[in-house]
Structure 1
Amino acid sequence: MTGKAPPEDLLGDSLSARLGFQLVKAAIGVRRAYAAELRRHGLLPHQHAILAVLVDGEGLYQRQLAEAVRVDPPDLVPYIDGLVKEGLAARSPDPKDRRRQIVTITPAGTERLGEADRGLDVVESALFRRLSSSDRSRLRKVLAEIDQED
């Protein structure tokens, strides 16, 4: 076989039939589109997730944030450092235990998150344009079911 065949034709029936492969393939495309849009707003995907978690609360410990965005706690620190440096998040000592830090979103972080989310709305509309509203709803339910931790 020469290098002329489209990539889809090279997969074969065995790989194309695997749901996991199809899910990963779709996720890669979605992640690329998300990352490109978030880059326009000066954010990385994990930073966006951190801000999105923080916007609904009064602040969280770094360990809680790590669990929420599914990042190992030590790996989360550089993302938070970047947000703090940009003025999008703040760290403060826990009044009950000064060894622990509470991370909160700043007004600038809330504004940046809103801008990024509006951009992501456009990206999602384009990515999922072929799906009806009910198909999107069903996809959310299926993905939530797959994502359940046992």
Structure 2
Amino acid sequence: MADEVAEANWSRYQYGIRRGHNDYIHDARLCEGFYLGGGRQWTNEDRQRLNEAGKPALEFNQIKNKINAAVGYQIGNRMDIGFRPRSGASDQETATTLSKLAMQIADNNQLHWKETQVFGDGVIQQRGFFDIRMSYDDTLLGEVKIDVL
């Protein structure tokens, strides 16, 4: 069983590499540098060439303000999770219970804050990911844990 899980994990890793993950990592680091600024917009080679030419390595960070404005807009328009009965055996009582359960899970995991983190990662680096798992650390029944990768 453990060998199968390891093999499946290795296969997913290899699939990501074949689909250009290393190129993505390079581009994501570059984009992160442009967003953060503070000397991260220039490579060491470019900085050395500019230094040899007697020119300063200036940075004009016009990206950060625009991304922060988009993140602010996202904060003002966050999603709310809710359930509604549609058909079959569904009813309003079940929908209300599921809505309260989803809100409890979201509150326990600070989902709104993490949603903003994932959105920011997506805007800056082209990808943002949630890691959703069952955790048995606090209870044997398990609880949903949501993290940001």
Q: TM-score, normalised by structure 2?
A: 0.26
Rg larger in 1 or in 2? Answer: 2
Higher relative contact order (CA 8 A, sep 6+): 1
Q: TM-score, normalised by structure 1?
A: 0.26
